[in-house]
Amino acid sequence: MADIYMDNNATTKVDPLVVEAMLPYFTEQFGNASSMHSFGDRVGKAIKEARARVQHLLGAAHESEIVFTSCGTESDSTAILSALKALPERREIITTVVEHPAILSLCDYLEKQLGDDGYVVHRLRVDEKGRLDLKEYRKKLSEKTAIVSAMWANNETGTIFPVEEMAELAKGVGAQFHTDAVQAVGKLPINLKDTAIDMLSLSGHKLHAPKGVGVLYLRRGTRFRPLLRGGHQERGRRAGTENSASIVGLGKAAELAMEHMVFENTCVKAMRDRLEKGILAAVPNCFVTGDPDHRLPNTANIAFEYIEGEGILLLLNKEGIAASSGSACTSGSLEPSHVMKAMSIPYTAAHGTVRFSLSRYNTMDEVDRVIAAVPPIMAHLRSLSPYWNEDGPVAAEEAFAPRYA
């Protein structure tokens, strides 16, 4: 029986049509797009076509607003560091406590490395559903703010943030607005030309393109300073010989994402909902995390009480099922993820969160196989726990110490 892959928020299968589009650019179409001869010209035209396809997917107003990068992390760093250099008189950054480490690690660095004369980072809190408080956001915004960076959708829970409204508010104080849309692009309709968003990051391997290619959307007229300097590639905004094969692949993936957008929001969502309903009906003491009304159509993050997520994943893997845990093992001590902590998920459940993230390659048959596999795994793991018996939990949360703040 074939294995089941439900870890698409980590990475996706490269679409066979994407591979087919890329192959010529490893062999006969190997020219450097910057070269004057026909070999380079043909590759340059292919990159131009890929740029137009990404522009269409993002609803950008101009093809020139699409800057190809190596990944979402590079795009994130470029956006934040550019804003700080372009607006040197402004020393404050606003982000959220549930951002991807690509954002949080950079903000931590900027805050700690520069001491008293460095940057002030405001991290917006979330509620128990992972939702932002826009009142807190309005209070933090000021003419000292250089950039606001808020993810379009959370990678663990799928919760969607009101980034379009947040961008308008940032514009009101003259700050730049960036969104890490790595999880949202290809799953949600996006029309950037009708927003005040200045910069957006995406990563190819999240939408069935290869790893090692990404995009920074840069609104025309936005004050910008490049991270990588050297050649004239990407209109001087990102130096380095273009990764032409992967750029062509990303362009094809963008085209396919537009074609499958309705499927993502109907059929994939239906599979996600069936998975959640089936597991919640069969397993006691578990619940779905995140905003039930505003989240990605493919993401189900389920918290199982009195179990460690790593144990669940190991047994799921034995059954040929790939998923992810919301907790991480660091230096031998298990800690819930920063997202679960920020949402104040009970300590008894925060350790046992599992993220199932689906794609258009999943099927209802696979969903039913996962629903059948999960209950015996949970029953087995709970049978090994001193905090659980056949009647349910036998210890209060206080037994799980130390608790996180």
For tokens 């090994």, the residue is 384
Q: pLDDT by residue (tens digit) across 191-235?
A: 999 999 999 999 999 999 999 999 999 999 999 999 788 878 878
Up-side HSE of residue 293: CA atoms within 13 Å toward CB?
A: 2
Whether the Cβ atoms of residue 367 and residue 298 lie closer than 8 Å to each other:
no
Instruction: Show the beta-strand stretches assigned E in 65-198.
Output: 66-69, 92-96, 120-124, 145-149, 176-180
Choosing from 107, 267, 286, 329, the catalytic residue is: 329
Phi and psi (nearest 5°) for 109? -60, -45
pLDDT of 32: 76
In this structure, how many other beta carbons lie within 10 angstroms of the beta carbon of residue 1?
6
Up-side HSE of residue 97: CA atoms within 13 Å toward CB?
A: 19
Structure-block tokens of residue 69: 């990068």
pLDDT of 241: 83
What is the mean predicted confidence (pLDDT) over 376-380?
95
Q: Is 326 helix (H, G, I), strand (E, B) or coil?
A: coil
- Asked if pLDDT for residue 334 goes beyond 70, the answer is no
pLDDT of 335: 76
Ordered structural domains, the chain, with CATH: 4-8+261-399 (3.90.1150.10), 16-257 (3.40.640.10)
* 293: Cβ contacts below 8 Å, ≥ 6 apart: none
- Asked if pLDDT for residue 330 goes beyond 50, the answer is no
Q: pLDDT by residue (tens digit) across 37-56?
A: 877 778 889 999 999 999 99
pLDDT of 114: 61
For tokens 């056949």, the residue is 390
Active site residue 71: no
What is the mean predicted confidence (pLDDT) over 163-191?
98
What is the overall mean pLDDT for the chain?
A: 91
For tokens 């250099």, the residue is 85
